[in-house]
C-alpha cells in the first residue's frame, strides 16, 4: 500500500486525517503491526485513544486489522496515555496501540505502537513498520483474534491512591483546552479531596482554542489568568494524550517544565540520595546545577520520550524530565511518562513541604528563559539544516561548548558559563524547536538577535507558522 513515508516519525506515527490517514490505511497498519507483534511472540494488545474526532473510528479499524492477523485485543476506550501504559501491566499485555496525535493540531491523528511494557517503537522499529506497510507484509490468521471491551479507569485511580497520599486539600484549576483530560482529571482530583475548578473541560474535538499544547504561551497565559481569578493554589493544563503538563503557580507565574524538572529532582534526591537524574538537551542549565547542588548525578540525553525511556534501560535514572513536560518517575512508578502521576507527585511534594510552588522555585538558579519556540521547516530539509547550524556555531563561537553528538540527537546545543541555546528539528512534525536563556538581560537579547538572524539566513526555515515565534522578535 502506498503510504506517506514522512508519517513514520522518530517515536510514533503522525499524519493528517483524510490525507495521510484514512480508515483503509489505518486498518492496513493494524494488520502490519499485528504481524510484527506475532513475530515478537506477542499475541495480545491493548487499544486506547484520546478524544479526537477520528480516534473512535481509528481504534475500531485497528482492532479489525489486529484481529485479522490473529492478535487478541482489549479495548479500554478513551483514557490518557498513562492509563494505557499502566493497563499493559494490569492486563499483562506487552503489545498495544494508543491513538492520538498528542499536541498536534486537530486535523492530525497518529499512533504509538507498544512492543513491551512501557516501551514503544522508536526510530529503527518505526522504519521497519514503514517497510512492512509498503510491502503489504502481513499474514492472515487461520483463527482470527478476539476483541474484549474493558473499563480500567476506576482500578487505575485506586492504584494511584495506594501509591500517593497527601493531606492538603488544594484548590486546583484544570484547563486541558477541551481535550481528553477534561473528562478524567477533575474526577480523580476530587477523589483526593481537592477542590477543582474546571475550565474548558468539555470535550470538543475541533479544539476551539487551537492546539492543545501546554507549552504554548497563550495556553499557560490563559491558565495563569484563571488561577489568579479563582485564587487557586495551582493550575494544570494537559495535551490531548495527557502525558505532558503545563503548570502555573499560586501567583499566576508560568513554571516552564525544565524548572519543574529541577523541582522534581530535589524531591527525588531527598528520597534517593546520589541518584542519577536524566534530562534532555532543551533543559535549562539550572537543571544540572540543581542536581549537582543536591548531590545527584546529572545525565543529559536527546529529546524524545521514547529515546529517554530506551536510554534509561542502561542508565537506571531514578527520574527523567523533559522541557516538553514528559516526566518519568522510574524509581517509584514505571519507566514511562504519565501526566496524572506527575501532577499527583507534585501535589504530594507541595503538601509534604507545606510550601507554595513559588517558594520552591525561588530556590532554583534563575535564568531569563524563552518558552519553547517552534518554527516551520519541511521534513525533507530539516535534517540537513542541523549540520549547517553546527558548523556555523563552531565558526562563530570557537570558545563555546557545542554539543551535536548522540546526546543532542536531532539538534545542536550551545553553552557558555552564563547562557545556553538549542536548535533542533522535531520528530513530530515539519518544524524546528528553539530554546534559549541567559543570566542577564543583555546576554539574552544578544542571543535572541543571533538566533533570529541565523534562522532568517537559512531559506529552509518557514516563518509562516509556528508557536511562540514572537519570542524571537
- By annotation, the residues acting in catalysis are 14, 102, 326
Per residue in 78-94, is it b (16+ CB within 10 Å) or e — as a string? bbbbbbbbbbbebbebb
Cβ atoms of 413 and 420 within 8 Å: the answer is yes
DSSP 205-219: TT-TTS---TTSHHH
The gap between the terminal CA atoms of the chain, to the nearest Å, is: 45
Strand order in the sheet with 245-248: 195-198, 171-174, 234-238, 245-248, 254-255
Instruction: Quote the CA–CA distance of 472 and 454 in Å, as a whole number.
Output: 11
Helix or strand holding residue 187 (H, E):
helix 185-191
Cβ atoms of 247 and 219 within 8 Å: the answer is no
Instruction: Quote the CA–CA distance of 337 and 241 in Å, as a whole number.
Output: 11
Q: How far is CA 131 from CA 2, 3, 363, in A?
A: 11, 10, 50
- Closest by CA position to 246, among listed 266, 225, 216: 216
Amino acid at each position: 500500500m502506498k503510504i506517506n513515508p514522512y508519517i513514520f516519525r522518530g517515536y510514533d506515527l503522525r499524519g493528517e486525517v483524510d490525507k495521510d490517514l484514512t480508515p483503509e490505511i489505518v486498518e492496513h497498519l493494524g494488520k502490519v503491526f499485528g504481524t510484527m507483534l506475532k513475530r515478537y511472540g506477542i499475541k495480545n494488545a491493548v487499544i486506547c485513544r484520546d478524544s479526537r474526532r477520528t480516534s473512535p473510528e481509528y481504534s475500531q479499524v485497528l482492532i479489525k486489522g489486529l484481529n485479522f492477523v490473529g492478535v487478541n485485543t482489549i479495548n479500554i476506550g478513551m483514557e490518557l496515555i498513562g492509563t494505557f501504559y499502566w493497563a499493559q501491566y494490569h492486563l499483562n499485555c506487552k503489545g498495544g496501540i494508543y491513538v492520538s496525535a498528542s499536541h498536534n493540531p486537530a486535523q492530525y491523528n497518529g499512533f504509538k505502537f507498544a512492543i513491551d511494557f512501557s516501551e514503544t517503537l522508536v526510530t529503527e522499529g518505526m522504519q521497519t513498520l514503514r517497510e512492512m506497510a509498503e510491502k503489504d507484509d502481513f499474514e492472515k490468521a487461520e483463527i482470527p483474534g478476539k476483541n474484549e471491551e474493558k473499563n480500567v479507569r476506576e482500578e487505575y485511580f485506586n492504584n494511584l491512591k495506594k501509591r500517593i497520599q497527601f493531606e492538603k486539600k488544594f484548590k486546583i484549576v484544570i484547563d486541558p483546552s477541551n481535550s481528553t483530560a477534561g473528562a478524567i482529571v477533575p474526577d480523580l482530583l476530587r477523589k483526593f479531596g481537592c477542590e477543582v475548578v474546571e475550565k474548558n473541560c468539555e470535550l470538543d474535538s475541533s479544539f476551539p482554542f487551537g492546539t492543545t499544547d501546554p507549552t504554548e504561551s497563550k495556553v499557560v497565559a490563559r491558565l495563569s489568568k484563571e488561577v489568579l481569578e479563582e485564587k487557586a493554589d495551582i493550575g494544570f493544563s494537559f495535551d490531548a494524550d495527557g502525558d505532558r503538563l503545563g503548570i502555573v503557580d499560586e501567583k499566576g507565574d508560568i513554571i516552564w517544565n525544565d524548572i519543574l524538572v529541577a523541582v522534581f529532582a530535589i524531591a527525588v534526591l531527598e528520597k534517593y540520595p546520589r541518584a542519577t537524574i536524566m534530562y534532555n538537551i532543551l533543559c535549562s542549565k539550572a537543571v544540572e546545577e540543581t542536581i549537582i547542588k543536591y548531590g545527584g548525578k546529572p545525565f543529559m540525553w536527546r529529546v524524545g520520550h521514547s529515546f529517554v525511556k530506551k536510554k534509561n534501560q542502561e542508565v537506571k535514572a531514578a527520574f527523567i524530565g523533559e522541557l516538553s513536560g514528559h516526566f518519568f518517575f522510574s524509581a517509584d512508578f514505571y519507566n514511562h511518562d504519565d501526566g496524572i502521576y506527575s501532577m499527583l507527585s507534585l501535589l504530594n511534594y507541595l503538601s509534604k513541604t507545606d510550601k507554595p510552588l513559588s517558594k520552591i522555585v525561588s530556590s532554583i538558579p534563575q535564568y531569563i528563559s524563552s518558552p519553547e519556540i517552534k518554527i516551520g521547516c519541511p521534513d525533507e530539509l530539516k535534517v540537513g539544516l542541523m549540520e549547517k547550524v553546527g558548523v556555523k556555531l563552531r565558526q562563530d563561537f570557537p570558545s563555546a561548548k557545542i554539543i551535536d553528538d548522540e546526546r543532542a540527537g536531532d539538534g545542536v546545543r550551545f553553552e557558555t558559563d552564563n547562557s545556553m541555546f538549542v536548535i533542533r528539528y522535531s520528530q513530530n512534525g515539519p518544524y524546528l524547536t528553539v530554546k534559549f536563556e541567559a543570566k542577564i538581560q543583555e546576554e539574552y537579547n544578544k542571543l535572541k538577535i543571533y538566533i533570529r538572524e541565523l534562522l532568517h539566513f537559512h531559506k529552509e526555515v518557514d516563518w509562516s507558522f509556528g508557536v511562540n515565534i514572537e519570542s524571537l522578535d
